[in-house]
Amino acid sequence: MFDFSNILSLPVLVFMPLVFGIIIVLPFFPNNDITIRRFAKGCIVFQLIYSLLFWIFYDKGFISVYSLDWIKTLGIKFGFVMDELALVVSILTTVIFTFAAVMSKLHIKHGHKYYYALLLFFETTILGIFNAADIFTFFLFWELELVPAYFLIGYWGEGSNAKKSAMKFILYTFIGSLFMLVGLIMLHYFNFLSSGSMNGQIDMYNLDKVGTNLQILISVLLLIGFGVKLPVVPIHTWLPDAHTDAATPVSMILAGVLLKTGGYAIIRFNLQVLPEAFQIIAPILAILALINIIYTALVAYAQVDIKRIVAYSSISNMGLILLGICSMNIIGLTGSIFHIVAHGIITAGLFVICGIILLRCRERDINKLGGIAANMPRLFGFATVIILASIGLPSLAGFIGEVITITGALASDLSNTMKLTALLALPVLIVSSCYMLKFLHQGFFGAQGECNPSADIANHEFLVLIAIVVILLILGCFPASLINIIQNLNIIDGAVAW
């Protein structure tokens, strides 16, 4: 029998979408919208299947570090490695990109060749972030991700301010990256002073001989860069604008995957490499997480644009993920990673719903919608399940992540601040129920608004929505399938290690 594990390669996983994207823009490739769309979708589905093979055959003994010397004198390598955390978020990435590619059919009406090429390039940059073994490989992909993101938001955006929103995203991320780069350079330099060797490999860093105050400074610099992407209040204002003005498939990627790079980076660097400093920072960061949860939940309730409701709800959920990371115990960390996956799927589904409403009704103002359930019963059914998942209904994925995360924060031994923030976060779940049920009630029930669609969801939209609902049910009813993978992470003094 053929052993599929022999064909699994991390560089192939990361760069295969880029190769497919280059093929699309080559002069010999047919400049036909249908051909381009089908080829790109086939490539992204193939990438999904390839990533699932990593899950099936995953074994630390065979997924080894791949590296090439990059700047040898500085110990910098171009390399990739996969552990359970990278495996989980990589599969989430390929799933969300598959959904986005399918949903692009009706939302993208021009520039198909360059749109799908950039979409594939975007997938490569995200996978590069999640599987980078060296800090400078990580930073390279962190910055390269800005290129496709800018054009996908600005050029194919649905809002009149799409280019402005894209530039705002670039400026916020770039400024945050400057702080992050200083932190990475300091991390690399003081690791050399501490260990006596130049090595940029993330799992080889050792700052035991570096003073606590210096570790805290490095950790804060990194958190500024990661906090922009997560995002953390008050450096969050790029996100509602980007989500609102981006095309639906791009919004799905931004909320479903891009935000998760911030949480991933905090786990990978602040928690794994600088646990001593993070232990001191965590209670303060937990307060910021609580502000994220409460403030943006209240702002979400005040919104009338359905895409902005979903955007602010995403920021609120990122606060919950951050709170779980700050607990610095296996329960909270498991809940955070689980919620990264659950929220990624849920928010992709919510943007699918928003996109379908926008296509059929040409309207996003919730006050002008109404009565959609009578005309679009299939959309209403899917919307009900996904919205209930977002507010944490038991048996759906959102509930599991929220419960484990809050439990982890309550069980934290760091300080009473962690327990207090967890207790204060619990009532906010009621607020989240209010703004999401407001979305469901005003958008789908009540008197007929200005929206009177003549058709329900199309077949490709049905496939995406049914896949999302099935995933939410599987993760909600059988959470151990994901939790067991997450808990295989080695935990040393509260930090994740390869």
**Domain boundaries, given as residue ranges, for the chain:** 282-498
pLDDT at 1: 47
Neighbours of 55 (CB within 10 A): 12
pLDDT at 353: 94
pLDDT at 6: 63
Instruction: Indicate whether 392 pLDDT > 50.
Output: yes
pLDDT at 496: 46
Instruction: Indicate whether 384 pLDDT > 70.
Output: yes
Separation CA 54–CA 92 (nearest Å): 13
**Which range is least confidently modeled, 6-15, 167-176, 198-207, 298-307?**
198-207
Tens digit of pLDDT for each residue in 465-495?
A: 999 999 999 999 999 989 988 887 765 454 4
Separation CA 307–CA 365 (nearest Å): 9
pLDDT at 492: 44
Instruction: Indicate whether 62 pLDDT > 60.
Output: no
Asked whether 494 and 328 are in contact (CB, 8 A), the reply is yes
Separation CA 34–CA 14 (nearest Å): 26
pLDDT at 495: 45
Mean pLDDT of 409-429: 82
Burial 69-94 (b: 16+ CB within 10 A, else e): ebeeeebbbbbbbbbbbbbbbbbbbb
Asked whether 318 and 259 are in contact (CB, 8 A), the reply is yes
Distances (CA, A) of 344 to 3, 73, 253, 389: 32, 40, 9, 12
**Who has greater pLDDT, 492 or 111?**
111
60 pLDDT band, cuts 50/70/90, is low
Residue with tokens 């924060």: 409
Return the DSSP state at 230: T
Mean residue pLDDT of the chain comes to 88
Mean pLDDT of 334-353: 95
416-425 and 428-444 are packed helices; what angle lies between their axes, rounded to 10 degrees? 20
Asked whether 437 and 391 are in contact (CB, 8 A), the reply is yes
Instruction: Indicate whether 100 pLDDT > 70.
Output: yes
pLDDT at 494: 43
81 pLDDT band, cuts 50/70/90, is confident
Q: Is 77 helix (H, G, I), strand (E, B) or coil?
A: strand
Asked whether 219 and 278 are in contact (CB, 8 A), the reply is yes
Instruction: Indicate whether 450 pLDDT > 70.
Output: no
Backbone torsions φ then ψ of 336, nearest 5 degrees = -65, -45
Asked whether 420 and 323 are in contact (CB, 8 A), the reply is no
Instruction: Indicate whether 79 pLDDT > 60.
Output: yes
Mean pLDDT of 25-35: 91
**Who has greater pLDDT, 350 or 8?**
350
Mean pLDDT of 250-279: 93
DSSP state string for 107-170: H--S-HHHHHHHHHHHHHHHHHHHHB-BHHHHHHHHHHTHHHHHHHHHTS-SSTTHHHHHHHHH
pLDDT at 488: 78
497 pLDDT band, cuts 50/70/90, is very low
Return the DSSP state at 232: -
The token pair that represents 370 in the structure block: 């109404």
pLDDT at 3: 53
Which residues 6+ apart lie within 8 Å of 367 measured at CB? Answer: 304, 442, 449
Mean pLDDT of 167-172: 93
**Which range is least confidently modeled, 56-60, 169-173, 180-184?**
56-60
pLDDT at 87: 92
pLDDT at 243: 86
Instruction: Indicate whether 269 pLDDT > 80.
Output: yes
Return the DSSP state at 81: -
198 pLDDT band, cuts 50/70/90, is confident
